[in-house]
Amino acid sequence: MTILITAVLLLAVFATSTLSGVFGMAGGLVLLGILLTILPVGTAIAVQGAIQIVANGSRAFLSRAFIDWKILGTICLGLLVAGIILFIVRYTPDLATVCITIGLLPVLVWIPKHWLALDASKPAHAFFCGLLGGGLNLTVGVSGPTVDIFFIRTEMDRRKVIATKAATQVVSHAAKVVFYWNATQVLTPLEWGAIALAAPFAIAGTSAGHWILQRLTDANFRAWTRLIVTAIGIFYLLRGISLLI
């Protein structure tokens, strides 16, 4: 990475971590889009995962009092099953498929509650959240909009939603780094150094987002989440279609 690319990456990590700190998602979507422009698909997914572990980990730590550990454990079981299945079929991602899939994900957050009444507080739903959300995180690098439909319709307040989702994403991103570990071998020691340098920026961005979250109402939190994720999804969808054309 050149000095300019490293600087852009660090700023992007701070900005996207702030975004995720507020809404519990969206930041990872933007960061992955940036990484996909400078790295191979598998490598970009793994690097995004490594950075997101720090961002989500700091967010989970700041909100640790609100984590629902029972929900988290059940979701992790679903993630484990998804990882085993993808390992058996030897899944390999490609850029167009990744972009189009991510572009279509925001449709999920607009589905009326009575059409798809998913609730992460129910054990069976939490397991399916891990299976589906974890599977998508491993296959295309992100799963925020998918995981969100299991949380945004619960009776939990925004702080419990953010905390539990952040803890879930820490585990999910760690699984992603392991799954794509071979793809990271193309990175040089200097590039790994730039990635390590991004850690404090991720923590700073998360702290800023946490500060903003405390001043946001539950109604505004849900409304803005849908609009921001949809805008990002449209960008990904257009990029994926352009790659096919």
In the predicted model, is pLDDT for residue 59 greater than 90? no
Percent of the chain with pLDDT over 70: 92
User: Two tokens at 137?
Assistant: 């995180």
With contact defined as beta carbons under 8 Å apart, do 144 and 28 qualify? yes
In the predicted model, is pLDDT for residue 221 greater than 90? no
With contact defined as beta carbons under 8 Å apart, do 49 and 180 qualify? yes
In the predicted model, is pLDDT for residue 169 greater than 70? yes
Distance CA 213, CA 218 (A): 10
Distances from the Cα of 102 to the Cαs of 91, 131, 137, 224, in angstroms?
17, 17, 10, 18
Give mean pLDDT, residues 77-102.
92
Distance CA 35, CA 47 (A): 8
In the predicted model, is pLDDT for residue 33 greater than 90? no
Distances from the Cα of 146 to the Cαs of 9, 26, 135, 169, 240, in angstroms?
26, 12, 10, 12, 19
Confidence tier at 205 by pLDDT (50, 70, 90): confident
Buried b (16+ CB within 10 A) or exposed e, 119-144: bbbbeebbbbbbbbbbbbbbbbbbbb
Q: What is the pLDDT of residue 80?
A: 95
Q: What is the pLDDT of residue 219?
A: 66
Distance CA 81, CA 101 (A): 21
User: Two tokens at 66?
Assistant: 């609100």
Average pLDDT, the chain: 84
Q: Is the pTM of this model over 0.95?
A: no
